[in-house]
Amino acid sequence: MSRLTDRDRNGRPQASEDIAVGHMQALENIGYRTVGTEEALAGEEYVLDQVNQIAARCKLLECEVSVQKGSGFHE
């Protein structure tokens, strides 16, 4: 079975193993993202940046990004 590339046969972007692994590596490089740490904030910023990049490329759809902020309290 061949791996999916980041483009389909018509040149349109699509999900791929390489993209997923790249995101996992980026988050892994940030370190352990324990609540309340600099690493947790860096992980949140990375994900939000990626989402905003996708939303900025929306052409046919109206994309809206909403971010839920936690209280920092976890049992």
In tens, the pLDDT along 11-69 reads 888 888 888 999 999 999 999 998 889 999 999 999 999 999 888 888 777 888 888 87
**Inside any domain, residue 68:** no
**Inside any domain, residue 4:** yes
How many other C-beta atoms can be found within 10 angstroms of the C-beta atom of residue 34?
Answer: 9
- How many structural domains is the chain composed of? 1
Range of the domain at 3: 1-63
**Inside any domain, residue 21:** yes
Helical ranges in the chain per DSSP H: 17-30, 38-56
Q: What is the pLDDT of residue 47?
A: 95
Q: What is the pLDDT of residue 60?
A: 77
Pick the more confident residue, 6 or 50. Answer: 50
What letter represents residue 45's amino acid? E
**Inside any domain, residue 40:** yes
- For the chain, the maximum distance between any two Cα atoms, rounded to a whole number of angstroms, is 49
Pick the more confident residue, 60 or 75. Answer: 60
Q: What is the pTM of this model?
A: 0.73
**Inside any domain, residue 73:** no
